[in-house]
Chains A and B, each alone.
Chain A
Amino acid sequence: MVSLVSGDSRQSDYPHSRGVVAGVVDPEMPMLTLDDLGVIRSVSEDGGAVTVTITPTYSGCPAVEEMRADIRRALTAAGYEEVQVRTVFSPAWSTDWISDAGRRKLAEAGIAPPGPAPTGPVVLNLAPPAGPSAHVRCPHCGAPATEEISRFGPTACTALRRCPACREPFEHMKEM
Protein backbone atom coordinates (compact mmCIF):
# COMPACT_ATOMS: atom_id res chain seq x y z
CA MET A 1 0.00 0.00 0.00
CA VAL A 2 1.28 3.42 -0.92
CA SER A 3 0.42 6.29 1.36
CA LEU A 4 -0.08 9.60 -0.38
CA VAL A 5 -0.12 12.65 1.79
CA SER A 6 -0.31 16.34 0.98
CA GLY A 7 2.39 17.44 -1.40
CA ASP A 8 3.26 13.94 -2.61
CA SER A 9 3.72 13.94 -6.38
CA ARG A 10 3.94 10.17 -6.86
CA GLN A 11 2.69 8.97 -10.24
CA SER A 12 0.47 5.94 -10.80
CA ASP A 13 -1.59 4.34 -13.58
CA TYR A 14 -4.65 5.99 -12.12
CA PRO A 15 -5.33 9.69 -11.94
CA HIS A 16 -3.74 10.96 -8.76
CA SER A 17 -6.26 10.05 -6.08
CA ARG A 18 -4.97 12.64 -3.62
CA GLY A 19 -5.45 15.31 -6.23
CA VAL A 20 -8.97 14.12 -7.03
CA VAL A 21 -9.98 14.19 -3.37
CA ALA A 22 -8.28 17.53 -2.80
CA GLY A 23 -10.38 19.12 -5.56
CA VAL A 24 -13.75 18.11 -4.10
CA VAL A 25 -15.54 21.18 -2.79
CA ASP A 26 -17.11 21.74 0.61
CA PRO A 27 -20.91 21.31 0.34
CA GLU A 28 -21.65 24.33 2.55
CA MET A 29 -18.86 26.65 1.42
CA PRO A 30 -18.32 25.73 -2.21
CA MET A 31 -15.61 28.35 -2.63
CA LEU A 32 -13.36 26.04 -0.58
CA THR A 33 -12.01 22.64 -1.55
CA LEU A 34 -11.71 19.96 1.11
CA ASP A 35 -7.97 20.51 0.86
CA ASP A 36 -8.40 24.22 1.61
CA LEU A 37 -10.60 23.36 4.59
CA GLY A 38 -7.96 21.01 6.00
CA VAL A 39 -10.30 18.07 6.60
CA ILE A 40 -8.42 15.46 4.52
CA ARG A 41 -6.41 13.36 6.96
CA SER A 42 -4.98 10.84 4.50
CA VAL A 43 -5.47 9.25 1.08
CA SER A 44 -3.96 5.84 0.45
CA GLU A 45 -4.04 3.85 -2.74
CA ASP A 46 -3.72 0.12 -3.33
CA GLY A 47 -4.19 -0.74 -6.99
CA GLY A 48 -7.67 0.48 -7.91
CA ALA A 49 -8.74 0.75 -4.27
CA VAL A 50 -8.56 4.03 -2.42
CA THR A 51 -9.06 4.69 1.27
CA VAL A 52 -9.75 8.29 2.22
CA THR A 53 -9.80 9.50 5.81
CA ILE A 54 -11.44 12.82 6.62
CA THR A 55 -12.21 14.61 9.87
CA PRO A 56 -15.42 16.54 10.59
CA THR A 57 -15.18 20.24 11.40
CA TYR A 58 -17.89 20.03 14.10
CA SER A 59 -19.28 16.90 15.84
CA GLY A 60 -22.67 17.47 14.27
CA CYS A 61 -21.52 18.87 10.93
CA PRO A 62 -24.36 17.88 8.58
CA ALA A 63 -22.08 18.23 5.57
CA VAL A 64 -19.92 15.21 6.41
CA GLU A 65 -22.21 12.71 4.73
CA GLU A 66 -22.33 14.90 1.60
CA MET A 67 -18.53 15.18 1.65
CA ARG A 68 -18.27 11.41 1.78
CA ALA A 69 -20.71 10.99 -1.09
CA ASP A 70 -18.94 13.65 -3.18
CA ILE A 71 -15.54 12.02 -2.57
CA ARG A 72 -16.94 8.64 -3.59
CA ARG A 73 -18.48 10.10 -6.75
CA ALA A 74 -15.32 11.97 -7.72
CA LEU A 75 -13.04 8.98 -7.23
CA THR A 76 -15.41 6.61 -9.03
CA ALA A 77 -15.69 9.05 -11.92
CA ALA A 78 -11.88 9.18 -12.01
CA GLY A 79 -11.71 5.41 -12.49
CA TYR A 80 -11.15 4.06 -9.01
CA GLU A 81 -13.07 0.84 -8.49
CA GLU A 82 -13.09 0.55 -4.74
CA VAL A 83 -13.48 3.63 -2.59
CA GLN A 84 -13.72 3.73 1.15
CA VAL A 85 -14.20 7.01 3.01
CA ARG A 86 -13.65 6.91 6.74
CA THR A 87 -14.17 9.63 9.31
CA VAL A 88 -11.92 10.09 12.32
CA PHE A 89 -12.51 12.51 15.16
CA SER A 90 -9.07 12.61 16.75
CA PRO A 91 -7.12 14.81 16.67
CA ALA A 92 -9.96 17.35 16.61
CA TRP A 93 -10.09 19.63 13.57
CA SER A 94 -8.91 23.18 14.09
CA THR A 95 -9.43 26.28 11.96
CA ASP A 96 -5.63 26.53 12.02
CA TRP A 97 -5.71 23.74 9.40
CA ILE A 98 -7.41 25.98 6.81
CA SER A 99 -4.82 26.69 4.12
CA ASP A 100 -3.59 30.15 3.18
CA ALA A 101 -5.34 29.73 -0.18
CA GLY A 102 -8.52 28.81 1.70
CA ARG A 103 -8.28 31.95 3.85
CA ARG A 104 -7.85 34.08 0.74
CA LYS A 105 -10.87 32.47 -0.95
CA LEU A 106 -13.01 32.98 2.17
CA ALA A 107 -12.16 36.68 2.26
CA GLU A 108 -12.85 37.01 -1.48
CA ALA A 109 -16.28 35.45 -0.88
CA GLY A 110 -17.04 37.99 1.85
CA ILE A 111 -16.36 35.68 4.80
CA ALA A 112 -13.75 36.92 7.27
CA PRO A 113 -11.21 34.11 7.79
CA PRO A 114 -10.52 32.86 11.33
CA GLY A 115 -7.64 34.15 13.43
CA PRO A 116 -5.40 31.78 15.40
CA ALA A 117 -7.36 29.10 17.32
CA PRO A 118 -7.45 29.60 21.10
CA THR A 119 -5.16 27.45 23.20
CA GLY A 120 -5.02 26.70 26.91
CA PRO A 121 -7.89 26.78 29.42
CA VAL A 122 -11.33 28.06 28.38
CA VAL A 123 -11.69 31.67 29.55
CA LEU A 124 -14.82 32.80 31.38
CA ASN A 125 -15.59 36.21 29.90
CA LEU A 126 -17.88 38.37 32.05
CA ALA A 127 -17.13 41.67 30.34
CA PRO A 128 -19.98 43.44 28.54
CA PRO A 129 -19.73 43.63 24.72
CA ALA A 130 -17.18 46.36 24.02
CA GLY A 131 -18.14 47.57 20.53
CA PRO A 132 -15.97 47.08 17.43
CA SER A 133 -13.04 44.74 17.93
CA ALA A 134 -9.80 44.81 15.98
CA HIS A 135 -9.39 41.05 15.73
CA VAL A 136 -11.66 40.73 12.67
CA ARG A 137 -11.10 42.90 9.58
CA CYS A 138 -14.01 43.74 7.27
CA PRO A 139 -13.82 41.47 4.20
CA HIS A 140 -15.67 44.09 2.11
CA CYS A 141 -13.93 47.41 2.73
CA GLY A 142 -10.92 46.32 4.76
CA ALA A 143 -11.79 48.39 7.85
CA PRO A 144 -9.65 47.03 10.68
CA ALA A 145 -12.30 46.82 13.45
CA THR A 146 -15.78 45.26 13.23
CA GLU A 147 -18.51 44.31 15.70
CA GLU A 148 -20.25 41.04 16.45
CA ILE A 149 -24.00 40.74 15.84
CA SER A 150 -24.37 37.09 16.76
CA ARG A 151 -21.92 34.43 17.86
CA PHE A 152 -23.73 31.84 15.72
CA GLY A 153 -24.20 32.35 11.98
CA PRO A 154 -26.01 30.46 9.24
CA THR A 155 -23.60 27.53 9.52
CA ALA A 156 -22.17 26.11 12.72
CA CYS A 157 -18.69 27.39 11.93
CA THR A 158 -19.50 31.07 11.34
CA ALA A 159 -20.51 34.09 13.45
CA LEU A 160 -22.33 37.19 12.17
CA ARG A 161 -20.57 40.56 12.27
CA ARG A 162 -21.03 44.04 10.86
CA CYS A 163 -18.63 46.74 9.74
CA PRO A 164 -19.13 50.19 11.29
CA ALA A 165 -17.33 51.81 8.31
CA CYS A 166 -19.17 50.39 5.28
CA ARG A 167 -22.24 49.24 7.27
CA GLU A 168 -22.17 45.82 5.59
CA PRO A 169 -22.94 42.67 7.57
CA PHE A 170 -20.72 39.66 6.95
CA GLU A 171 -19.88 36.20 8.25
CA HIS A 172 -16.76 35.41 10.21
CA MET A 173 -15.40 31.91 10.48
CA LYS A 174 -15.03 31.33 14.20
CA GLU A 175 -11.71 30.32 15.67
CA MET A 176 -11.98 26.69 16.71
Chain B
Amino acid sequence: MNASHVHTENAYRSLSETTELDDPRWAFGTGIVEEEGAELSSPVPSGVDATDLAAYCLMLGDDALVLQHRLSEWVANAPELEEEVALANIALDLLGQARVLLGRAGHLLGSDEDDLAYLRTENEFRNVRLVEPSDELDFAHCIARLLLFSTWRLALLQRLQQSADPVLAAVAAKGVKEVAYHRDYAVRWTLRLGDGTAHSHERMQAGLVAVWPYYDELFRSTEIECRVGVDPAGLRAEVDDVLDQVLAAATLERPTIPGAFTVGGRAGREGLHTEKLGLVLAELQSIARQHPGATW
Protein backbone atom coordinates (compact mmCIF):
# COMPACT_ATOMS: atom_id res chain seq x y z
CA MET B 1 0.00 0.00 0.00
CA ASN B 2 1.29 3.39 -0.87
CA ALA B 3 1.09 5.54 2.23
CA SER B 4 2.02 8.74 0.47
CA HIS B 5 -1.55 9.11 -0.86
CA VAL B 6 -2.58 10.33 2.60
CA HIS B 7 -3.49 14.00 2.22
CA THR B 8 -0.99 14.76 -0.51
CA GLU B 9 -3.72 16.50 -2.46
CA ASN B 10 -4.31 19.14 0.18
CA ALA B 11 -1.90 19.93 2.93
CA TYR B 12 -4.58 21.70 4.94
CA ARG B 13 -7.13 18.91 4.90
CA SER B 14 -5.21 16.96 7.47
CA LEU B 15 -5.31 19.97 9.78
CA SER B 16 -9.07 20.13 9.88
CA GLU B 17 -10.34 16.60 9.50
CA THR B 18 -10.50 13.98 12.19
CA THR B 19 -10.67 10.22 11.90
CA GLU B 20 -11.28 7.44 14.37
CA LEU B 21 -7.50 7.25 14.73
CA ASP B 22 -7.16 10.73 16.21
CA ASP B 23 -7.24 11.51 19.90
CA PRO B 24 -9.29 14.51 21.01
CA ARG B 25 -6.99 17.47 21.37
CA TRP B 26 -6.58 19.62 24.42
CA ALA B 27 -7.35 23.01 23.02
CA PHE B 28 -4.26 24.83 24.18
CA GLY B 29 -1.32 22.49 23.84
CA THR B 30 -0.68 19.24 22.04
CA GLY B 31 0.41 16.91 24.80
CA ILE B 32 4.12 17.22 24.24
CA VAL B 33 5.03 15.34 27.42
CA GLU B 34 3.06 12.16 26.79
CA GLU B 35 4.31 11.60 23.30
CA GLU B 36 7.81 12.95 23.64
CA GLY B 37 8.95 11.07 26.71
CA ALA B 38 12.20 10.47 24.86
CA GLU B 39 14.05 13.45 26.30
CA LEU B 40 11.68 15.34 28.59
CA SER B 41 11.63 12.43 31.03
CA SER B 42 15.42 11.95 31.06
CA PRO B 43 16.82 11.25 34.53
CA VAL B 44 18.09 14.25 36.48
CA PRO B 45 21.90 14.37 36.19
CA SER B 46 23.74 13.27 39.31
CA GLY B 47 24.58 16.09 41.69
CA VAL B 48 21.71 18.21 40.38
CA ASP B 49 18.68 18.99 42.54
CA ALA B 50 15.45 18.33 40.62
CA THR B 51 13.70 21.33 42.21
CA ASP B 52 16.55 23.62 41.17
CA LEU B 53 16.51 22.23 37.65
CA ALA B 54 12.75 22.74 37.35
CA ALA B 55 13.06 26.31 38.62
CA TYR B 56 15.81 27.03 36.10
CA CYS B 57 13.74 25.58 33.23
CA LEU B 58 10.91 27.89 34.29
CA MET B 59 13.22 30.93 34.22
CA LEU B 60 14.39 30.38 30.65
CA GLY B 61 11.00 29.06 29.57
CA ASP B 62 9.10 32.03 31.01
CA ASP B 63 11.49 34.51 29.33
CA ALA B 64 10.59 32.94 25.99
CA LEU B 65 6.88 32.49 26.74
CA VAL B 66 6.23 36.09 27.77
CA LEU B 67 8.30 37.64 24.97
CA GLN B 68 6.64 35.49 22.31
CA HIS B 69 3.31 36.84 23.52
CA ARG B 70 4.48 40.44 23.16
CA LEU B 71 5.95 39.70 19.71
CA SER B 72 2.71 38.04 18.63
CA GLU B 73 0.89 41.30 19.31
CA TRP B 74 2.48 42.59 16.09
CA VAL B 75 0.47 40.19 13.96
CA ALA B 76 -1.83 42.37 11.83
CA ASN B 77 -0.11 45.46 13.29
CA ALA B 78 3.44 45.56 11.86
CA PRO B 79 4.49 48.34 9.47
CA GLU B 80 4.93 45.84 6.61
CA LEU B 81 3.71 42.32 5.99
CA GLU B 82 7.29 41.02 5.85
CA GLU B 83 8.00 42.32 9.35
CA GLU B 84 4.79 40.86 10.67
CA VAL B 85 5.80 37.48 9.30
CA ALA B 86 9.32 37.84 10.69
CA LEU B 87 8.13 38.75 14.18
CA ALA B 88 5.59 35.93 14.15
CA ASN B 89 8.32 33.48 13.14
CA ILE B 90 10.60 34.69 15.92
CA ALA B 91 7.71 34.36 18.36
CA LEU B 92 7.08 30.82 17.14
CA ASP B 93 10.71 29.82 17.74
CA LEU B 94 10.52 31.21 21.27
CA LEU B 95 7.20 29.48 21.90
CA GLY B 96 8.81 26.21 20.82
CA GLN B 97 11.71 26.74 23.23
CA ALA B 98 9.27 27.65 26.00
CA ARG B 99 7.21 24.51 25.44
CA VAL B 100 10.19 22.19 25.78
CA LEU B 101 11.48 24.03 28.87
CA LEU B 102 8.07 24.10 30.54
CA GLY B 103 7.56 20.48 29.52
CA ARG B 104 10.82 19.55 31.27
CA ALA B 105 9.84 21.57 34.35
CA GLY B 106 6.41 19.94 34.28
CA HIS B 107 7.93 16.47 34.20
CA LEU B 108 10.14 17.31 37.20
CA LEU B 109 7.31 18.94 39.16
CA GLY B 110 4.57 16.39 38.40
CA SER B 111 2.72 18.97 36.31
CA ASP B 112 2.74 19.73 32.57
CA GLU B 113 3.47 22.54 30.12
CA ASP B 114 -0.15 23.64 29.89
CA ASP B 115 -0.75 23.93 33.63
CA LEU B 116 2.52 25.80 34.02
CA ALA B 117 1.75 28.24 31.21
CA TYR B 118 -1.94 28.77 31.87
CA LEU B 119 -2.52 28.27 35.58
CA ARG B 120 0.36 29.97 37.38
CA THR B 121 -0.08 33.43 38.82
CA GLU B 122 2.22 36.41 38.33
CA ASN B 123 4.45 35.82 41.32
CA GLU B 124 5.04 32.23 40.18
CA PHE B 125 6.55 33.40 36.88
CA ARG B 126 10.35 33.58 36.82
CA ASN B 127 11.05 35.68 33.69
CA VAL B 128 13.28 38.74 33.59
CA ARG B 129 11.29 41.99 33.48
CA LEU B 130 12.68 43.04 30.09
CA VAL B 131 10.10 40.85 28.35
CA GLU B 132 7.07 42.32 30.11
CA PRO B 133 6.30 45.82 28.73
CA SER B 134 4.10 46.27 25.71
CA ASP B 135 5.77 47.73 22.62
CA GLU B 136 2.71 50.00 22.35
CA LEU B 137 2.99 49.34 18.60
CA ASP B 138 6.29 51.24 18.50
CA PHE B 139 8.45 49.26 16.07
CA ALA B 140 11.73 50.80 17.30
CA HIS B 141 10.83 49.74 20.84
CA CYS B 142 10.22 46.21 19.58
CA ILE B 143 13.59 46.13 17.80
CA ALA B 144 15.46 47.63 20.78
CA ARG B 145 14.10 44.97 23.13
CA LEU B 146 14.73 42.17 20.65
CA LEU B 147 18.31 43.40 20.20
CA LEU B 148 19.00 43.24 23.94
CA PHE B 149 17.11 40.00 24.49
CA SER B 150 18.49 38.03 21.55
CA THR B 151 22.09 39.17 22.10
CA TRP B 152 21.84 38.08 25.74
CA ARG B 153 19.98 34.83 25.07
CA LEU B 154 22.37 33.82 22.29
CA ALA B 155 25.34 34.24 24.66
CA LEU B 156 23.47 32.26 27.31
CA LEU B 157 22.39 29.39 25.05
CA GLN B 158 25.89 29.05 23.59
CA ARG B 159 27.17 28.26 27.09
CA LEU B 160 24.15 26.15 28.03
CA GLN B 161 24.96 23.65 25.28
CA GLN B 162 27.45 22.17 27.77
CA SER B 163 24.70 21.55 30.36
CA ALA B 164 24.72 18.16 32.10
CA ASP B 165 20.95 18.09 31.66
CA PRO B 166 20.13 16.57 28.25
CA VAL B 167 17.00 18.69 27.79
CA LEU B 168 18.73 21.99 28.54
CA ALA B 169 21.63 20.98 26.28
CA ALA B 170 19.22 20.06 23.45
CA VAL B 171 17.15 23.25 23.78
CA ALA B 172 20.36 25.26 23.78
CA ALA B 173 21.87 23.56 20.73
CA LYS B 174 18.69 24.09 18.74
CA GLY B 175 18.06 27.52 20.21
CA VAL B 176 21.48 28.87 19.22
CA LYS B 177 20.64 28.30 15.56
CA GLU B 178 17.29 30.02 15.94
CA VAL B 179 18.31 32.96 18.13
CA ALA B 180 21.25 33.67 15.79
CA TYR B 181 18.62 34.59 13.19
CA HIS B 182 16.69 36.67 15.76
CA ARG B 183 19.78 38.67 16.68
CA ASP B 184 20.65 39.17 13.04
CA TYR B 185 17.15 40.49 12.37
CA ALA B 186 17.34 42.91 15.31
CA VAL B 187 20.86 44.06 14.35
CA ARG B 188 19.85 44.77 10.75
CA TRP B 189 16.89 46.89 11.81
CA THR B 190 18.92 48.68 14.47
CA LEU B 191 21.48 49.65 11.82
CA ARG B 192 18.81 50.67 9.34
CA LEU B 193 16.83 52.79 11.78
CA GLY B 194 19.76 54.18 13.75
CA ASP B 195 21.78 55.13 10.68
CA GLY B 196 18.71 56.11 8.66
CA THR B 197 16.81 59.38 8.66
CA ALA B 198 16.89 61.89 11.52
CA HIS B 199 13.40 60.71 12.49
CA SER B 200 14.23 57.00 12.43
CA HIS B 201 17.40 57.69 14.42
CA GLU B 202 15.46 59.57 17.07
CA ARG B 203 12.83 56.83 17.34
CA MET B 204 15.46 54.06 17.59
CA GLN B 205 17.35 55.96 20.29
CA ALA B 206 14.07 56.44 22.19
CA GLY B 207 13.39 52.70 21.88
CA LEU B 208 16.75 51.93 23.49
CA VAL B 209 16.06 54.37 26.31
CA ALA B 210 12.69 52.74 26.95
CA VAL B 211 14.08 49.23 27.40
CA TRP B 212 17.44 50.08 28.98
CA PRO B 213 16.18 50.12 32.61
CA TYR B 214 15.77 46.33 32.32
CA TYR B 215 19.25 45.68 30.91
CA ASP B 216 21.14 45.31 34.21
CA GLU B 217 18.72 42.69 35.46
CA LEU B 218 19.78 40.34 32.64
CA PHE B 219 23.12 39.89 34.43
CA ARG B 220 21.91 39.47 38.03
CA SER B 221 22.95 36.09 39.40
CA THR B 222 20.62 33.98 41.48
CA GLU B 223 21.79 30.94 43.41
CA ILE B 224 19.72 28.58 41.29
CA GLU B 225 21.19 29.84 38.02
CA CYS B 226 24.70 29.45 39.39
CA ARG B 227 24.00 25.93 40.69
CA VAL B 228 22.31 24.33 37.67
CA GLY B 229 22.69 26.68 34.72
CA VAL B 230 24.72 29.53 33.33
CA ASP B 231 25.70 32.36 35.69
CA PRO B 232 24.33 35.41 33.83
CA ALA B 233 26.97 37.69 35.36
CA GLY B 234 29.51 35.91 33.17
CA LEU B 235 27.68 37.01 30.00
CA ARG B 236 28.03 40.73 30.57
CA ALA B 237 31.37 41.36 28.85
CA GLU B 238 30.34 39.53 25.69
CA VAL B 239 26.88 41.12 25.48
CA ASP B 240 28.27 44.59 26.19
CA ASP B 241 30.85 44.12 23.47
CA VAL B 242 28.31 43.04 20.83
CA LEU B 243 25.94 45.89 21.71
CA ASP B 244 28.77 48.45 21.65
CA GLN B 245 29.70 47.34 18.14
CA VAL B 246 26.11 47.43 16.92
CA LEU B 247 25.29 50.79 18.49
CA ALA B 248 28.48 52.37 17.15
CA ALA B 249 27.77 51.12 13.62
CA ALA B 250 24.19 52.39 13.95
CA THR B 251 25.38 55.84 15.20
CA LEU B 252 23.34 55.32 18.37
CA GLU B 253 24.32 56.18 21.93
CA ARG B 254 24.35 53.64 24.68
CA PRO B 255 21.88 54.95 27.30
CA THR B 256 23.34 55.71 30.71
CA ILE B 257 20.09 55.56 32.68
CA PRO B 258 20.13 53.41 35.83
CA GLY B 259 18.51 50.00 36.08
CA ALA B 260 14.93 49.58 37.27
CA PHE B 261 14.52 49.19 41.03
CA THR B 262 14.65 45.85 42.78
CA VAL B 263 12.84 44.98 46.00
CA GLY B 264 15.34 43.94 48.65
CA GLY B 265 17.58 42.81 45.79
CA ARG B 266 14.79 40.70 44.27
CA ALA B 267 13.38 41.03 40.75
CA GLY B 268 11.81 38.91 38.00
CA ARG B 269 13.74 35.71 38.79
CA GLU B 270 12.28 35.82 42.33
CA GLY B 271 8.74 36.46 41.05
CA LEU B 272 8.71 40.25 41.47
CA HIS B 273 7.42 41.75 38.26
CA THR B 274 6.15 44.95 36.71
CA GLU B 275 2.40 45.45 36.55
CA LYS B 276 2.65 44.71 32.81
CA LEU B 277 3.04 40.97 33.37
CA GLY B 278 -0.48 40.76 34.78
CA LEU B 279 -1.86 42.15 31.54
CA VAL B 280 0.07 39.57 29.50
CA LEU B 281 -1.17 36.71 31.66
CA ALA B 282 -4.75 37.95 31.66
CA GLU B 283 -4.78 37.61 27.89
CA LEU B 284 -2.59 34.52 27.63
CA GLN B 285 -4.53 32.55 30.24
CA SER B 286 -8.10 33.78 29.85
CA ILE B 287 -9.47 31.01 27.62
CA ALA B 288 -7.72 28.22 29.49
CA ARG B 289 -9.11 29.52 32.77
CA GLN B 290 -12.64 29.99 31.39
CA HIS B 291 -12.74 26.56 29.77
CA PRO B 292 -10.61 24.21 31.91
CA GLY B 293 -9.61 21.05 30.03
CA ALA B 294 -11.35 22.07 26.80
CA THR B 295 -10.68 19.84 23.79
CA TRP B 296 -11.58 20.03 20.13
Contacts and interface: CB of A to CB of B under 8 A. Distances in A.
SS class of chain B's interface: helix, strand, loop or mixed? helix
Interface in A45-78: 53, 56, 58-62, 65-66, 68-70, 72-78
B178 A122 contact: no
Given A60-B96, A124-B187, A86 B3 contact: no
B14 A90 contact: no
Interface string A158-176: 0010000000000000101
Contact of A62 (B2, B92, B167, B177): B92
Interface in B24-43: 30, 32, 35-39
A149 B8 contact: no
A154 B85 contact: yes
Nearest to B32: A87
B4 A60 contact: no
Chain A CB within 10 A, most for which of B14, B90, B154: B14
Interface residues of B, number: 59
B173 interface: yes
Nearest to B11: A30
Contact of B92 (A58, A76, A174): A58
Nearest to A175: B177
Given A23-B3, A53-B38, A150-B85, A73 B21 contact: yes
Contacts of B7: 25, 27, 30, 70
Contact of B39 (A75, A77, A89, A149): A89
Contacts of B171: 59, 89
B178 A59 contact: yes
A61 B3 contact: no
B207 to A, nearest CB: 19
B283 interface: no
Contacts of A5: none
Interface string B27-69: 0001010011111000000000000000000000000000000
Interchain residue pairs A-B with the least CB separation, the first 5: A60-B96, A59-B96, A74-B3, A152-B86, A90-B170
Interface of B: 1-4, 6-8, 11, 14-15, 19, 21-22, 30, 32, 35-39, 82-83, 85-86, 89-90, 92-97, 99-100, 154, 158, 166-167, 169-171, 173-178, 180-181, 183-185, 187-188, 191, 242, 245-246, 249
12 contacts: A21-B3, A27-B7, A30-B11, A56-B96, A58-B92, A58-B96, A69-B21, A73-B19, A74-B3, A125-B187, A150-B83, A152-B85
